[in-house]
Structure 1
Amino acid sequence: MGSAAPAVDPAPVRPSPVTPLSVVPDRVGSGDPGRVAVAPDSGLHPWYPLSPCGTECIDEQRNRVSTMRMAVRVLRVAAVILSAVCAWPVVAVSPALARRRFLRGLSRRVLRALGLTVVIDDRRPFASHTRGLVVANHVSYLDIPAVAMISPASFVAKAEIACDPVSAVPARIFGTIRVERNSLRQLPATVRTVTERLEADASVVVFPEGTTRCGTSIGTFAPAFFQAAIDAGVPVLPIGLEFATASGHRGAAAFIGDDTPWDTLRRVLRTRGLSVRVTVHESQLAGEDRRELAARCARLIAGA
């Protein structure tokens, strides 16, 4: 989605050791069997996105790295972050193409420093130079660098990330658009902000599930932000994310249940053989029906 092909050196595509994601239903709405009902006394609106995944979805990881190896990973991550902080004053005033290339490379280095193997499966017939709306399934805050390797764009994320010590800095770097998930009244204004960014020839990344899952299935793709692509007349780029170990376990990178960002980070750092597979599908024309567009992109990512 950038003005040049992604400046990454992807690992060779290999068959995934895990089973395909569960397929979401054709209709995006309350009929989704994966949708969690909101309790009437919760203070949340009926369409608030709740994940069916909890701590019980996190696989017990028997194949862990040594304490020494984990310490090396921590030092590598610290070195990558420090070098990025030192370089950012220059990068921030560089041309947009240089900034995007820097963020692509930084995202890949962060994931590799954490011990992840990166596999990019680009299914587009040719490298796209078109900007637009990018949508992906949601597993963890590590989704941000995984998607940024392809499209280092602005991200739509929950407002709480501004107070999160792990994600606050990346949120500022990527120009995150914050959304109040429990305020339907503010949603139209946020959609308009996304539309304006798209009309200004900028890409925006959205996680339409609105919440994270453990990675074995994807949930309903809420159609609201797909309207921004329709109004701006831009295509939609669906990206599928799979975090898995060599044995097929998917829970190590998930940010679900009672996890804090630090819990997820520690689990990633101590897991052996963790990889992230980024599947880039062909851009989709927006059309005129946001619900159909949302369902179409969800089916592509689910592999239906």
Structure 2
Amino acid sequence: MNQWVPVSPCGVDCVPSTPRASRLRIGMRCAAFGLVAVLVLVVGLATILLPRRARHGYWRASARLTLASMGVRLDVDDRRPRQARRVRGALIVANHISFLDIVAIAAVAPARFVAKREVLQMSGFGYVARLFGVLPHVRGDLRRLAPMIARVGEILDRGRAVAVFPEGTTWCGGAAGRFRPAFFQAAVDAGVPVLPLRLAYAEAGRPATLAGFIGDDTVGSTFTRIVAARDLTVTVTVFALQLPVPDRRVLADVCEERITGLERGPATWSGTGAARPRIFSR
């Protein structure tokens, strides 16, 4: 295994068995998702010629409709001043739990996403990822890291938002990995702020890990758990913009502490793929 590729210890043990929705409800959600996906893609192609603000409005509405079709409720806790909620040229960073994270973030702040190259190779979801403008990143290839950071910086410099997941891989949501500082350099170079977001999933009001894309999960197995949930909610907490201080490590630490709600202890990462888990205490 490449020592520079982040590894999460989360797996099947993190997802306990929970009561499932009825077969009828699951079938209806699958049908609704299929219909919405086709509608979003077809209409989305026609929005290319629209002004950016109109496109962003469309993608926010489409993302919310996609979540609803899967039976997922969206709860947004926006802690920014009302007059400071328009996102332009900001680096969006969030903890990473599921491929559903991209949809949840798009419902709040549409952006170009940086994701591992394998995401674009997933059947079905890969096409949707390309339509959302996902930027493929080859994890662990240090030769391609600097050009990708420069590319993200150029997009930010043009006044557009880019979203990254600094953990580098998905965790179950009950624990999290350390934020790696590499992509924070793009915000430093472009002189743009960083917008931290926290993603949390709950079922019937209790923290849930069933949406996690972890371990040996496939898109299909995670999708099945999501549509079979009785009452799944994703909460997106939006924090205040962070100014791009010159030290990217300090910037990463500040955003990590804001998102996890935990103070950062001494770093123990030594270049291996493993990361010391941090347990959420929300």
Q: TM-score normalised to the size of structure 2?
A: 0.89
In the TM superposition, what is the alpha-carbon distance from 1:166 to its structure 2 partner?
Answer: 3.8
Corresponding position of 2:38: 82
- How far apart in 2 are the matches of 1:55 and 1:193? 36
In the TM superposition, what is the alpha-carbon distance from 1:246 to its structure 2 partner?
Answer: 1.5
- Does the Cα contact within 8 Å between 1:59 and 1:249 map onto a contact in 2? no
Letter of the 2:20 counterpart: R
Corresponding position of 2:20: 64
Match of 1:186, SS state, is helix
- How far apart in 1 are the matches of 2:45 and 2:95? 32
Is it true that 1:269 corresponds to 2:227 in the alignment?
yes
Q: 2:101 aligns with which of 143, 146, 149?
A: 143
Corresponding position of 2:55: 99
Letter of the 2:81 counterpart: P
Q: Once the two structures are superposed, what CA deviation does each residue of 1:97-134 show, in whole Å capped at 9, x if it has no partner?
A: 11111100010111111111111000002233343100
Corresponding position of 2:136: 178
In the TM superposition, what is the alpha-carbon distance from 1:247 to its structure 2 partner?
Answer: 5.3
Letter of the 1:56 counterpart: D
RMSD: 1.2
Is it true that 1:301 corresponds to 2:272 in the alignment?
no
In the TM superposition, what is the alpha-carbon distance from 1:293 to its structure 2 partner?
Answer: 0.4
- Does the Cα contact within 8 Å between 2:200 and 2:207 map onto a contact in 1? no
- Does the Cα contact within 8 Å between 1:233 and 1:286 map onto a contact in 2? yes
Letter of the 1:124 counterpart: R
- How far apart in 1 are the matches of 2:101 and 2:142? 25
Corresponding position of 1:54: 11
Determine which structure has the larger strand proportion and give its number.
Answer: 2
Q: Once the two structures are superposed, what CA deviation does each residue of 1:222-263 show, in whole Å capped at 9, x if it has no partner?
A: 000000000000000000000111252422100001100000
Corresponding position of 2:212: 254
- Does the Cα contact within 8 Å between 2:89 and 2:158 map onto a contact in 1? no
Where structure 2 has 5 or more consecutive residues not aligned to the other structure, the ranges are 263-282
Is it true that 1:169 corresponds to 2:127 in the alignment?
yes
Is it true that 1:227 corresponds to 2:216 in the alignment?
no
Letter of the 1:164 counterpart: M
- How far apart in 1 are the matches of 2:207 and 2:20? 13
Q: 2:85 aligns with which of 121, 128, 148?
A: 128
Corresponding position of 1:209: 167
Corresponding position of 1:218: 176
- Does the Cα contact within 8 Å between 1:166 and 1:261 map onto a contact in 2? no
In the TM superposition, what is the alpha-carbon distance from 1:85 to its structure 2 partner?
Answer: 2.6
- How far apart in 2 are the matches of 1:243 and 1:206? 19
- Does the Cα contact within 8 Å between 2:79 and 2:239 map onto a contact in 1? yes
Q: Once the two structures are superposed, what CA deviation does each residue of 1:168-222 show, in whole Å capped at 9, x if it has no partner?
A: 1222122111111021111111101101111111110000000000001221100
Match of 2:200, SS state, is strand
Match of 2:93, SS state, is strand
Where structure 1 has 5 or more consecutive residues not aligned to the other structure, the ranges are 1-41
- How far apart in 1 are the matches of 2:105 and 2:113? 10
Q: TM-score normalised to the size of structure 1?
A: 0.83
